[in-house]
Amino acid sequence: MSGKWLARAGKVWLVLILIFLYAPIVIMGAMSFNASPFYQLPFEFSLNWYAALSGNDAIRTAAIRSVGIALATMVIATALGTAASLAFFRYEFRGKFILQTLLFPPIAIPWLITGTAMLIFFFGIGLGRGTPSVLVGHVALALPYVIVVVSARLATFDRTLEEAARSLGAGAWTVTRRVTLPWIMPGVVAGALFAFAVSFDQFVVSYFLSEPGDATLPVLIYTSIRKGFTPEINAVSTIIIIISMAVMLVAARFSNFGGDR
C-alpha cells in the first residue's frame, strides 16, 4: 500500500520538477505577447514587440551574425571533429589516451577562464576582438562535442566492413566515403547540430571576444538586460529558445540519446 503511495508521490515530484524547468520559459514567452511593457497583468494579447523587433536593426544584424557564426562553426567543427574521430577509431598509436584526455579541458574548464585566456592570447598575437576571434573560439568549444558524439556512433560500426571493402580493392578514401561515412552519418548530423547549438547559445566566450559594435545575439541581450528590461528582448529571447530547443530535439533524434532506436 505504502509502495503505491510512494510511487505516486514520486511521479508528482517529477511533474513539479518539469514545472520548475519550464514555467519561467513559458511565462517569458507569454509575456512577449503581452501589451504592457512592464509585464503588467491582466494579460492583453499584442504582437507589438515582435513588430518592434523587425524594425530593430541592432537586433537583426546581431541575429544574422549569430546564425552566420553558428553555421561556420558547424561546418568547420564537424569536418575537423569527424576526421579526428576516424583517426581515433582506426589507429592505435602512442599518446592516443593523452590526446583523448585533452578534449576535456575545453568542456570542463569554466568558460570564464577560457574566454578571458582567449582574449589575452588573441590580443597578444594581433587578432584582437571581433567576429574572426569569436569563430575561432566557438569552433574550439564545439570540437570536443563533435568528437564525442561521432565517436559514440563509430563504436557501433563493424570494422570488418572496412577490411572487406579494402580487400576488394577499395582505396582508403573510397572506403571512408562509400562505407564508413554512410554508416556514421546520423552521428555526424547529430554532432553538427550540437556544434551549431554550442555556438548559437554561447554567451561567455563571445562576450569577451566580440567588439562592442559587432556583438552576437546573446551578447546584445546581456548588455540590454543590464541597461534595463525591454519586452523586445523578451520577444527575441523567446525566438532563440524555440530555435535552440528545436535544434536539440532534432539532434536527439539523430544520436542515440534516449537509448537505441
Please give the residues from 48 up to 67 whose contact with other proteins meets the rule CB under 8 A. Answer: none
Nearest approach, Cβ of 194 to other proteins (angstroms)? 8
Give the Cα separation of 169 and 253 in Å (integer).
Answer: 35
Residue 1 binds other proteins, judged by CB under 8 A: no
Residue 90 binds other proteins, judged by CB under 8 A: yes
Q: Which stretch binds other proteins (CB under 8 A): 45-53, 158-166, 183-191, 243-251?
A: 243-251
C-beta of 56 vs 114, nearer to other proteins: 114
Residue 142: other Cβ atoms inside 10 A: 28
Site string for other proteins, 193-222 (x = CB under 8 A): ----x--xx-xx--xx---------x--xx
> Which of 124, 182, 213, 228 is close enough to bind other proteins by CB under 8 A?
124
> Which of 59, 69, 74, 147 is close enough to bind other proteins by CB under 8 A?
147
Residue 235 binds other proteins, judged by CB under 8 A: no
Give the Cα separation of 11 and 7 in Å (integer).
Answer: 6
Which of 180, 250, 192, 245 has its CA nearest to residue 70?
192
Residue 157 binds other proteins, judged by CB under 8 A: no
Residue 97: other Cβ atoms inside 10 A: 8
Are the C-beta atoms of 194 and 84 separated by less than 8 Å?
A: no
Are the C-beta atoms of 31 and 231 separated by less than 8 Å?
A: yes
C-beta of 39 vs 50, nearer to other proteins: 39
Residue 155: partners with Cβ closer than 8 Å, 6 or more residues away: 89
User: CA-CA distances (angstroms) from residue 128 to 16, 132, 137, 190, 204?
Assistant: 47, 9, 12, 32, 17
Q: What is the DSSP string of 83-131?
A: HHHHHHHH---TTHHHHHHTTHHHHHS-HHHHHHHHHHHHHHTT--SSH
Which of 34, 98, 101, 87 has its CA nearest to residue 238?
34
C-beta of 164 vs 249, nearer to other proteins: 249
> Which of 55, 93, 167, 228 is close enough to bind other proteins by CB under 8 A?
93
Residue 159 binds other proteins, judged by CB under 8 A: no
Give the Cα separation of 138 and 38 in Å (integer).
Answer: 35
3-state secondary structure of 236: helix
Nearest approach, Cβ of 157 to other proteins (angstroms)? 16
Residues within window 7-36 making contact with other proteins, judged by CB under 8 A? 7, 10-11, 13-14, 17-18, 20-25, 27-28, 31
> Which of 67, 72, 179, 252 is close enough to bind other proteins by CB under 8 A?
252
Nearest approach, Cβ of 54 to other proteins (angstroms)? 19
Q: Which stretch binds other proteins (CB under 8 A): 50-58, 107-115, 161-169, 178-186?
A: 107-115
Residue 145 binds other proteins, judged by CB under 8 A: no
Are the C-beta atoms of 157 and 86 separated by less than 8 Å?
A: no
